[in-house]
Copies of this chain bind each other. A is one copy, B any other.
């Protein structure tokens, strides 16, 4: 569909990080994660330079050895690409990552602040912005400009909320560069952006509008961005063209739902590691398995999920001893107090439900806090009910991965505020994430749905996920680049 292109991908976390093995040899650790997986196709078919933060001491050693330049790397499938790691000042990086990006921006974009008392935009946050978020974004921009000097025709793909300022810094120095940005989390409506003082919320919007294309996973987040750009920086929206005009510039605003690679999961499904985990799950399982798989993030709504399960057990005692709620949580961002506290709230709620309902030999909730992907895939195969009740979520890939590999016509319970709901809502049982009572009823309904109804819904989701793979998501973004007016984005050799 598209020729080979020159692309510069910019994301905070790169596709690989380096460490030392037991013998002190440098080894590459290829990360998982939806974004890196999704972008694998780019690396396969195009000439990619990937710019990311140096995370580990070995990453920093590489930066130092390479004098800051890119190194040659190979992806898991053997495709070559260039990797440019940027080594930030550790204090600046901490402010950028652990103060501004998380929790400040993340909590704004998921509506999570308890505004009566938090956040405080105090000297600490101002310092974190100007001595953290801004300089780290400048460092990314400088690396981009450097790579553009090497290959002026390359297109730049920025990713996510860590990098809102970088596009403008690049634009100031390279007015003709072709820049696109994809935001992987929800976009909050304008009132909630008022958590940031005017000059900061303006900077966020001006940064994004320095791109030629800005993408979101859903029409809903796109709509919110259009409205907030109108309100915060007086951008004008041309609905027919799908572009926001701001100053002399035009920015196309698009919605492309991210997807998974179905082949990858169909292979994983049969891998030795997954089969081993599955045998353990199968041996331990009760008649019914309710599953949730998440990071320990307040946006995921883990606590209310347990309350709903407790309300279900209270309402329907006939399910006691017959059902387990398996909860696999990947610990997340434990350097941030809001996250540590949320993990505490999770543990407290599990104990409350288990203390109330447990019987000899039966623990209603099985909570496992670990990063164990084979176990998660094994559980995907085994669930009867998958609970995805996120408060807000840009997409939620679990809602796509798990039904794809599930072998029991499991029912998906899906939050109306998860991005995936725009695609999968009609085949899921929709819940409101705040409605604990509604979630309890949905669990009951899911467990008692007639088999043919479960089969119909599960098959529809599976077919959708199989036929809407990640290649389409990437292609849509390349098409967007071709549509940027006056830009001859040359397909290379």
User: B-contacting residues of A (Cβ < 8 Å)?
Assistant: 110-117, 119-123, 125-126, 188-192, 194-198, 224, 227, 298-299, 301, 303-304, 307, 311, 342, 345, 391-392, 416-417, 432, 434-438
Is A342 within 8 A of B191, CB to CB?
Answer: no
| Cross-chain contact A111 with B192 (CB below 8 angstroms) | yes
19 cross-chain CB contacts under 8 A: A111-B115, A111-B192, A115-B391, A115-B434, A116-B299, A116-B345, A117-B303, A121-B432, A121-B437, A122-B307, A122-B437, A125-B437, A189-B192, A192-B192, A194-B417, A194-B434, A196-B434, A198-B416, A198-B432
Bound Cα distance from A190 to B187, whole angstroms: 13
Q: Quick one: which of B113, B116, B434 contacts A121, CB cutoff 8 A?
A: B434
- Note all chain B residues with C-beta closer than 8 A to A342: 116
Alpha-carbon separation in the docked complex, A248 to B359 (Å): 57
Closest residue on chain B to residue A430 by CB atoms: B198
Other-chain residue from B195, B311, B391 in contact with A434 (beta carbon distance below 8 A): B195
Kindly list the 10 A-B residue pairs having the minimum CB-CB distance in the complex, ordered from nearest. A114-B114, A116-B298, A189-B189, A121-B435, A197-B432, A197-B435, A122-B436, A121-B434, A120-B436, A123-B437
Q: How many copies does the complex hold?
A: 2
Query: Chain B contacts of A111 at CB under 8 A?
Result: 115, 191-192
Return the chain B residue nearest A392 by Cβ: B191
Question: Are the CB atoms of B434 and A120 closer together than 8 Å?
Answer: yes
Would B303 and A116 count as touching, CB distance under 8 A? yes
Q: Is the CB of A126 within 8 A of B191?
A: no
List B contacts of A301 (CB < 8 A): 116
Chain B residues with Cβ under 8 A from A432's Cβ?
121, 194, 196-198
B311 lies within 8 A of A123 (CB): yes
Q: Which residues of B have CB within 8 Å of A119?
A: 434
A197 CB contact (under 8 Å) in B125, B298, B391, B438: B438
Q: Which residue in B116, B189, B304, B438 is a CB contact (below 8 Å) of A112?
A: B116
Residues of chain B contacted by A116 (CB below 8 angstroms)? 112, 298-299, 301, 303, 342, 345, 391
Q: How far is the CB of A426 from chain B (nearest CB, A)?
A: 15
On chain B, the residues within 8 Å of A307 by CB distance are 120, 122
With A113-B114, A116-B342 already in contact, the answer to whether A438 and B192 are too (CB < 8 A) is no
| A201, closest chain B residue (CB) | B432
Residues of chain B with a CB closer than 8 A to A196's CB = 432, 434
